[in-house]
Amino acid sequence: MTCPRVGHINFLNVLPLTWSYAHGADQGLAITRGVPAVLNNDIVNHRLDVSNVSSIIYARDSEELVVLPDVCVSSDGDVQSILLVSRKPIGDLRDDKIILTAKSATSHCLLKIILRGAYGAIPNYYVRHITPEDPIPEDAAASLLIGDDALWLYHHQQPDLYYYDLGHEWKQMTGKKMVYALWVANKDFAAQNPALLQLVYDRIHHAFQNGLAHKREAIESILAGKPFTYEQLDDYLGPTIRWELTEEYLDGLRTFYDLAHQMNLIEHIPTIKLANVQRS
Ligand SMILES: C=C(O[C@@H]1C=C(C(=O)O)C=C[C@H]1O)C(=O)O
């Protein structure tokens, strides 16, 4: 049996899954680790069979993909790790230059929707590699960071800069939950390999449950190599980041797709097609 090729975004926001993969759940899976922008590209180009990807990618390629049920990366309000850091208050940004992290896709759209919809601003956006230690280049007014970079920045705020949590801003603007990442499978892989698809779904779904049951151990296992305290990660993983793709989260995702479409960020509003697996 060939191993399904599975992508894994190596951010702390999926630590329960990372921990489970390190404790046997990766058996029989060929796992590729990377940042969202790279894995987004890999799944669309058939270099992966299943991956967690930026949620906007499904809207851009929904004809080729199916969504795994029950798992996602989301928040109901504050997310801590999708952050706009700015030299001026958000309401004063107009046609300024804003740098977008090259790691992301969903947060780029989320920021454009929020700045246009809630603040009437249409800034000039540029995609670049940025580091949390020096987040806003000289020539720019603000920067957007995601993942562990943003979480670090969230905990190391400078008094002369302004910080905006986009999960918070989204909730304020729409009243909805927000889904940042989905697990998707290539449609051909799903159609031709139903047993392997079921295996990957079971593995990922159980791995989250198992990783969460070992939350303390999972956090302690990575503390030495990461610039966060136990308390910061305990708060981030669970109350803040959510992983259940329930109807309420799907509703938030549909609103995101609607608004992205209104702003011409996606060509059509996709119907969310769930993969045909036995739910566990
Ligand atoms: C919550 C987050 O969501 C991430 C944001 C993504 C994006 O902006 O494309 C992709 C995957 C998610 O894991 C985060 O960055 O911490």
Range of 40's domain? 5-74+178-262
Instruction: Answer yes or no: do 150 and 203 share one domain.
Output: no
Q: Is residue 273 part of a domain?
A: no
Cβ-contact 52, 183 below 8 angstroms? yes
Torsion (CA) 62, 64, 70, 73 in degrees, nearest 10: -70
CA of 153 to the centre of ligand 1 (A): 15
Instruction: Answer yes or no: do 184 and 168 share one domain.
Output: no
Q: How far apart are CA 49 and CA 65, in angstroms?
A: 10
Instruction: Answer yes or no: do 99 and 146 share one domain.
Output: yes
Residues paired with 51 in a beta bridge: 7, 184
CA of 1 to the centre of ligand 1 (A): 32
Instruction: Answer yes or no: do 53 and 108 share one domain.
Output: no
Instruction: Answer yes or no: do 27 and 159 share one domain.
Output: no
Q: Which residue's CA is minimally distant from atom 5 of ligand 1?
A: 180
Q: Which of 142, 174, 206 is the last residue of a domain?
A: 174
Instruction: Answer yes or no: do 64 and 183 share one domain.
Output: yes
Q: Is residue 277 part of a domain?
A: no
Q: How far apart are CA 53 and CA 38, in angstroms?
A: 9
CA of 214 to the centre of ligand 1 (A): 23
User: What ipTM describes this predicted complex?
Assistant: 0.99
Q: How many domains does the chain have?
A: 2
Q: Is residue 280 part of a domain?
A: no
Lining residues, ligand 1, CB within 6 Å? 9, 11, 13, 36, 54, 73, 79, 81-82, 104-107, 146-147, 180-181
280 residues of the chain, pLDDT tens digit each = 689 999 999 999 999 999 999 999 999 999 999 999 999 999 999 999 999 999 999 999 999 999 999 999 999 999 999 999 999 999 999 999 999 999 999 999 999 999 999 999 999 999 999 999 999 999 999 999 999 999 999 999 999 999 999 999 999 999 999 999 999 999 999 999 999 999 999 999 999 999 999 999 999 999 999 999 999 999 999 899 999 999 999 999 999 999 999 999 999 999 999 999 999 8
